[in-house]
A and B are shown apart, each in its own frame.
Chain A
Amino acid sequence: MLGKKNNRNDMRKIDDTTKAENTRQMVILNVYRANTYRNDLPRFEKYQIPIQRWMTVLDALLFAKSYLDNSIGIRYSCRMASCGSCGMKINGIPKLACYTKISELEGNTITCEPLSNFPHIRDLVTDFSQFFEHHKEMAPFIHNNNADIRDENRLSEFKQTPQDVDKYLQFSYCIKCGLCYSACPTVATDTKFPGPQALSQAYRYYADTRDHLSNRRLNTVDEKHGIWRCHFAGSCSTVCPKGVDPALGIQLLRGHLMGFSRNENTIAKLRDPTSKES
């Protein structure tokens, strides 16, 4: 399958011998094809894929790429919903291709499109730069005024109870797959809105008892295009594959801004490793 690929819309069929060996049933992958940098006109190309039990959409796409059309542009890595690379719209809904089984989708045609609200690069690949910039604006790191990492004699660990960890743990499971950003109705029109991922990460660090930047984080999100442009449409939490529930994080953070929640953070204490206390 080497050489220059022509612009065709017809179905690609595998040869009969392979079909006989592998086929239980077939599905049609309807894949979005376009190269934005070359100003190609977008089109859909269909690939007929033999499916096997437990096959995922990513498996199907890689089959198409391996045997039918090696020019399909696709981003993937871990194949186990851990890296967040293979996010795309599958039948109109943002999902991880490696985490979506063919058997759980209805119909014989599966439409694969690039994630919306991300600048498009090629085929199913999108540009995450803006997404990561929004994330960086939330200062996604622990800042503790008492911890001096330059002085080795003072290196110590923070004391956090399991309850302290549970306050932010689920939000730390975010894999930055971008599905929530793609599903969000505000991101669909508002280019300055940070998106559910960035806002839920703001809460993740806000709720962390080791962090001293609470007021700065609240000031960062308290803007015209900040947290107040979230209207709890819930689409982010619907599509999140890791149970992060970004909508929950955003509303909890907003609760602090609205004065509904007392600031329950007591800053975590540093444990001095040279002391005998456990």
Chain B
Amino acid sequence: MKISNQMVNNRENREGIKGWLNPSRYGWERISYWFQRLTGVFLLVYFIGHVYETSSLVHGENAWNAMLEVTQTPGGHIFLILVIGTSTFHSTNGIRLIFTHGGKGLGNPGRPDYPYDALSLNYRQRSGIWVALILAAIAMLYGSTVLFGGK
């Protein structure tokens, strides 16, 4: 994209990071974008930590047990429940996004008429967001029964 450096200067007035950190003004799709980003970064951090924690296996049983003492705690379980919820949301919403990014589920263009509601922001694809949130909640509930189930 050929934009001159002259146009990119200090008076740009761009919202910056706080622009995409604030999900409150524009509806469900913006909130799902916000959650998808946050859950993605969170899961990446968890993934790196998980690869690191499982590598303690190669240092023997003592190292492994020491790792378990850190992670198999109430705090560790709560963190894992968060991971379960975020991964469920990120996956389900991601599947919704694969379809919507390809233009599926958004309807067909036509002649706009008052009140000029946007066709793409329809309940069919929007319900995918709610399904993702509900599934995440259910997964977190199930995860907590397994982790805190006391077996």
A: which residues have CB within 8 A of B?
A: 36, 92-93, 114-120, 126, 129-130, 133-134, 137, 166-171, 173, 183, 185-189, 191-194, 207, 223, 225-226, 231-235, 237-245, 247-249, 251-255, 258, 260-261
Number of A-B contacts (CB under 8 A): 173
Residues of B within 8 A of A117 (CB): 12-15, 19
Query: Does residue B9 face the partner (Cβ distance < 8 Å to A)?
Result: yes
A123 to B73, CA, bound (A): 56
Could you tell me the distance between the alpha carbons of A225 and B121 in the complex, rounded to whole angstroms?
24
| Closest A residue, CB atoms, query B14 | A117
CA distance A239 to B117 in the complex (A): 10
In the complex where A166-B111, A232-B101, A261-B102 touch, is A116 in contact with B20 (Cβ < 8 A)?
no
Query: CA–CA, A191 to B100, complex, Å?
Result: 25
Chain B residues in the interface with A (C-beta under 8 A): 1-3, 7-9, 11-17, 19-20, 25-30, 33, 36-37, 97, 100-104, 106-107, 109-113, 116-121
Whether the pair B1, A188 counts as a contact (CB closer than 8 A) is no
Q: Given A243-B113, A261-B103, do A129 and B7 touch, yes or no (CB 8 Å)?
A: yes
Question: In angstroms, how far is the closest chain A Cβ from the Cβ of B102?
Answer: 3
Q: Which A residues touch B17, using CB under 8 A? A: 188-189
Residues of A within 8 Å of B7, CB to CB, are: 119, 129-130, 133
CB pair B33 A185 closer than 8 Å: yes
Contacts known (A36-B11, A170-B110, A254-B102); A231 close to B120, Cβ less than 8 A: no
Given contacts A117-B14, A189-B19, A255-B101, 13 further A-B contacts (CB under 8 A): A93-B26, A133-B3, A169-B111, A185-B20, A189-B14, A191-B3, A232-B100, A233-B29, A234-B29, A247-B106, A248-B119, A252-B103, A253-B103
When chains A and B are docked, how far (Å) is the Cα of A241 from the Cα of B16? Answer: 24
A-side contacts of B102, CB under 8 Å: 251, 254-255, 258, 260-261
A204 and chain B: residue at smallest CB distance: B109
Name the one of A115, A166, A237, A251 contacting B101, with C-beta atoms under 8 angstroms. A251
Interchain CB contact under 8 A, B30 and A233: yes
Instruction: Using known A-B contacts A245-B118, A252-B109, determine if residue A126 contacts B13 with beta carbons closer than 8 Å.
Output: yes
Check B111 against A170 for contact (C-beta < 8 Å): yes
Closest to A225 in B: B1
Would you call A239 and B120 a contact (CB within 8 A)?
no
> Closest CB of chain A to B10's CB: distance in Å?
9
CB distance from A105 to the nearest CB of B (A): 14
Contact (Cβ within 8 A) A119 B3: no
Residues of chain B within 8 A of A249, CB atoms compared: 109
For B110, what are the chain A residues with a Cβ–Cβ distance below 8 Å? Answer: 166, 169-170
A124 CB to nearest chain B CB (Å)? 12
Q: How far is the CA of A251 from the CA of B1 in the complex (A)?
A: 20
Residues of B within 8 A of A183 (CB): 25-26
